[in-house]
């Protein structure tokens, strides 16, 4: 029989995209169950032309569910993930709750699909900034080991949820109309501004949680904890696609031509690198599509050894950064 699939957090920024991905990819299922908070219970969402009534999440929500896609935040995952597993479901979790658990595979299907087999009920979907960097870095790493990379991110509102996207719209409207606006979702004024990522900063090393996720998740997904990684994560006033500047050092010398050659056939990657037209990856072009756009492919002139490359990438945070990657994991299952 075809699986019963549940979405936990169906009304959220990622939840809506999960439903959309299941529909667009014609995911084989016998029933789609939509779960959210009591606030949304009774409302409906449309899947393949049919209205489905949203139910309030509770302990009995997973009876008969085979695959549960979680995107309602880490605290919900921690409580209800194990309940879903007990009920017999395999959980694909979008939150950071289980990512560093050694019994939980952390999967990007283009990188480590085989890790799915090791699951004990829960599979974790990586952080969006990690996924967007690793899809293009993996095929390079396979050919010429990456020894170090430095990332600077330009992250969209969507990473902080639907309410943050609305706050960006509202704050921009208020700014243009000259009205005062006090942000309540994100900690700083967002319109015509940017700020260091809103995740907690560790006073011990000065890095925020988002930056450390990029470090530790890369080690786990690549299976290589010797890669030296540093990141600066920044929120920019973009709705739904993250961009990243990547400085990548390899074991052996490498040229931009070699990088382009490798990335030209890499799954999930599209090269956007038109030097003449000054046309490179942009979040507006990345929005709504599954591929990671890669451009500004050039030798890092600050490294005379010829082992370093500079890249600029953009990917849809809600799709490959979250919903699409989770549905691809469910497809592997």
| Position 57 contacts ligand A2P (CB under 6 A) | yes
Are 183 and 176 in contact by the 8 Å Cβ rule? The answer is no
Q: Which of 96, 144, 218, 308 binds ligand 11C (CB under 6 A)?
A: 96
Residue from 61, 77, 129, 310 touching ligand 11C (CB under 6 A): that is 129
119 is catalytic: no
- The reply to whether 326 sits near ligand 11C by the rule CB under 6 A is no
Neighbours of 38 (CB within 10 A): 10
Q: Which stretches does DSSP call E strand in the chain?
A: 4-8, 31-36, 44-47, 50-53, 55-56, 67-70, 90-93, 122-124, 146-155, 195-196, 228-235, 241-250, 269-271, 292-299, 308-316
Q: Which of residues 146-165 bind ligand A2P (CB under 6 A)?
A: 161-163
DSSP state of 279: B
Q: Given 119, 141, 197, 242, which residue is catalytic?
A: 242
Catalytic status, residue 197: no
- Residue 76: contacted member of ligand A2P, ligand 11C, none (CB under 5 to 8 Å, by partner type): ligand A2P
CA dist 119 to 9, 91, 115, 149, 206, Å?
Answer: 22, 10, 8, 29, 34
CA angle 217-319-135, nearest 5°?
A: 45
Q: Residues 5, 18, 19, 76: which binds ligand A2P (CB under 6 A)?
A: 76
Overall size of the chain counted in residues: 333
d(CA 29, CA 24): 13
Q: Does 325 bind ligand 11C (CB under 6 A)?
A: no
Which residue of the chain is nearest ligand A2P when measured via CB?
A: 12
Instruction: State the minimum distance, in angstroms, from the CB of residue 158 to ligand A2P.
Output: 8
Q: Does the footprint of ligand A2P cover residue 186 (CB under 6 A)? A: no
Which residue among 128, 141, 197, 233 is the active-site one?
128
Give Cα separations from 79 to 31, 181, 186, 255, 271 (angstroms).
24, 35, 25, 48, 41
Retrieve residue 289's tokens.
Answer: 């599509």
Tell the smallest beta-carbon distance from residue 109 to ligand 11C (Å): 17
Q: How far is the CB of 132 from ligand A2P (least distance, A)?
A: 18
Q: Which residues are catalytic?
A: 128, 242
* Residues that bind ligand 11C in the complex, under the rule CB under 6 A: 95-96, 127-129, 155, 159-160, 210, 213, 317
Would you tell me which residues interact with ligand A2P (CB under 6 A)?
Answer: 9-15, 36-37, 39-40, 57, 72-73, 76, 161-163
């Amino acid at each position: 029989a075809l699986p019963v699939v549940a979405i936990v957090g169906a009304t959220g920024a990622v939840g809506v995209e999960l439903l959309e991905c299941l529909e667009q990819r014609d995911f084989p299922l016998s029933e789609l169950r939509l779960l959210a908070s009591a606030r949304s219970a009774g409302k409906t969402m449309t899947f393949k032309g049919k209205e489905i009534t949203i139910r309030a999440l509770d302990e009995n929500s997973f009876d008969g569910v085979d695959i549960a896609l979680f995107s309602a935040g880490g605290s919900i995952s921690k409580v209800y993930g194990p309940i879903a597993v007990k009920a017999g479901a395999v959980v694909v979790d979008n939150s950071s709750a289980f990512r560093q658990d050694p019994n939980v595979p952390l999967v990007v299907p283009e990188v480590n699909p085989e890790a799915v087999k090791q699951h004990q009920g829960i599979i974790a979907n990586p952080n969006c900034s990690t996924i967007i960097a690793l899809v293009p870095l993996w095929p390079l790493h396979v050919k010429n080991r990456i020894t170090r990379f430095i990332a600077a991110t330009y992250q969209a509102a969507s990473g902080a949820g639907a309410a943050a996207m609305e706050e960006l719209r509202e704050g921009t409207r208020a700014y243009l109309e000259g009205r005062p606006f006090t942000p309540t979702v994100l900690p700083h004024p967002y319109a015509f501004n940017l700020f260091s990522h809103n995740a907690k900063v560790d006073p011990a090393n000065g890095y925020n949680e988002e930056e450390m996720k990029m470090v530790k998740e890369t080690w786990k997904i690549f299976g290589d904890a010797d890669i030296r990684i540093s990141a600066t994560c920044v929120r920019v006033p973009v709705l739904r696609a993250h961009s990243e500047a990547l400085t990548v050092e390899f074991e052996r010398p490498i040229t931009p031509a070699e990088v382009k050659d490798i990335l030209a056939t890499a799954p999930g990657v599209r090269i956007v690198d038109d030097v003449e037209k000054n046309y490179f990856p942009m979040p507006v072009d990345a929005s709504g599509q599954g591929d990671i756009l890669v451009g500004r492919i050039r030798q890092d002139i600050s490294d005379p050894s010829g082992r370093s490359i500079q890249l600029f990438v953009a990917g849809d945070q809600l799709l490959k950064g979250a919903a699409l990657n989770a549905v691809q994991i469910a497809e592997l299952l």
